[in-house]
Amino acid sequence: MNINQALTYGLGIWLVAFVVASIMVVLGAGRALWADIVVALFAGLASFFLSKKLRLRTVGRAFGYGFVYLVVMLVLDYLITFHFTGSAIFQSWTFWLAYLLVFLAPFVTLTPAPKTSRKK
């Protein structure tokens, strides 16, 4: 696993979620349930597309990348988002849904190893 790539992708995923959440606030949707679900879906999709680029072949690597993404998001939400929302961020099921989607996306993108031909 490339830890720098995992950290960078984790930051990118968090930025997508943060920007989409900020747009929702500007549009007046703020803490509407549908807006929170949209943010969670965008975070999950960002994780999916970035993980797909990695062409992960093992469950262990998928777990590693998903775990790093999750830790990066939790730390950044605690350090940055927490100051805008207070503890409400960690009390909302939609935020935990976003974390779950981000964590699971690398598993969904697992690519089977190429088959090798055996000569008889």
Mean pLDDT per block of 10 residues along the chain (120 residues) reads 92 95 89 90 96 93 96 94 82 92 95 73
Residue 56 has a pLDDT of: 93
pTM: 0.86
Domain boundaries, the chain: 3-108
User: Is residue 4 helix, strand or coil?
Assistant: helix
Q: How far apart are CA 51 and CA 37, in angstroms?
A: 21
User: Residue 9: left (phi > 0), alpha (psi -120 to 50), or beta?
Assistant: alpha
